[in-house]
Chains A and B, each alone.
Chain A
Amino acid sequence: MISLHNVSKNFAGFQAVRSVNLTIPQSEIHGIIGASGAGKSTLLRLMNLLELPDTGEVVVNGQPLTSLKERKLRQARMSIGMIFQQFHLVLNKTVYENVDVSLKLGGMPKAQRQKRVMECLQFVGLENLKDKYPAQLSGGQKQRVAIARALANKPQVLLCDEPTSSLDPDTTIGILGILEDINKNFGVTIVLVSHEMDVIQSICHRVTVMADGGIYDTVSIKPKGISKVSSDPRNFFEQLKKGGEADDA
């Protein structure tokens, strides 16, 4: 569960997020959509205090992050996974090591870590690539490593900042499928930031629309299913043809 009370953030006078109130219940997949610069990423980064709010309170998994001391905050962050558009893997670590490091931070003994790393890699279907380096992987595979890394500490919340925005449609479907599985199998609350309506509509239970740093509205939707994200080449063709006709007219 995540609640934001009256949360604001400004960057050198620019109000990126303005007094937002938002509650996301446990096990919900919550979409955040809006134009570029609307404040989606900033709002997401406020949820694990990657950005410190100027005002307001951030409560995640029952803990008021905004009033925690540094050590407690770090512990709380271990229960909040995060993945990014650009993956942000450690390129000098193997796939295995990238997942392992997040467990090392929590001080887990080696034997247990080994077991957990392999579990996570199996979950995202990468156990065979465990000794590869990120530079040897495709974008979709890199995002899977990032997901495995975020899952390693069994988080209750997973924050996703445009996780599919640099991937092609087929790969996007794969990643969305994994996110949906994480939600269904482990009850993880997922916050999914995207500017692609297709992506948001496919798996989200509720969607917040942002504009100018504020919440325009939050609506419940019925997830359309992942197959509705267009990967069929005929869809591209149809869209191109439509564009062409518009030009002709």
Chain B
Amino acid sequence: MDLLNLSVVAEYYPVLLRGFGMTILMTLIVITLSLTLAIPVALSRMSGNFLVRLVGGTYVELLRGTPLVLQLVYIYFVLPGVGIRLDGFVAALVALTLHYTAYLSEVYRAGIQSVPKGQTQAASALGMSRGQTFIRIVLPQAVRTVTPALGNYFISLFKDTALASVVTVQELLFSGQIIAARTYQYFTIYTVCMIMYFSVGYPAALFVRWLEKRTSGGYARRRRRQKGGQA
């Protein structure tokens, strides 16, 4: 088997880096959008109104119950049939956002429901409004519970952006495919791609594991350390 062909890497690394930049950009855009959109979706699933619950629930189950790559292909190839034509980049962003919004909304919902009912009751008994109770009491506790889960979804999202290659977005994988097809240096190019994904994915996974440990204990030690005092 060939060893890494360094001259190919030297020649094409700007293309790979540009692709990598695209991968990161897509990840950040979709994180921002889905983190935000998941809030109303989560709230809709806990709504007192049956219809609102039904709409939210249908959306979430449809997107969780079908393959992401099919959702992407659907948006890119089928929607033009009804007059909605999106370029590959936008189609990929839409598909990934819809998909991850569904998953993140479930994470939010679990987090919110994990906060004991006594907490909302205590806040209500103190005269706090529903909004104040949600923002000051429920949300901070829920966020802490779900932070590691969110982190894990961000890592999957980062890797799932590779699916955008299916609709010709020049992110890292597709850039690699183009170069490989031109140079026949499959081993070298795909290994470099692998290393580039891993160089972000692995530290991120370590970071999430650290977060998990940090948020699993009580509140006291963490805060003390932040303030620089002793525990």
Is this pair of chains taken from one and the same complex?
A: no
Instruction: List B residues at the A interface (Cβ < 8 Å).
Output: none
Instruction: List A residues at the B interface (Cβ < 8 Å).
Output: none
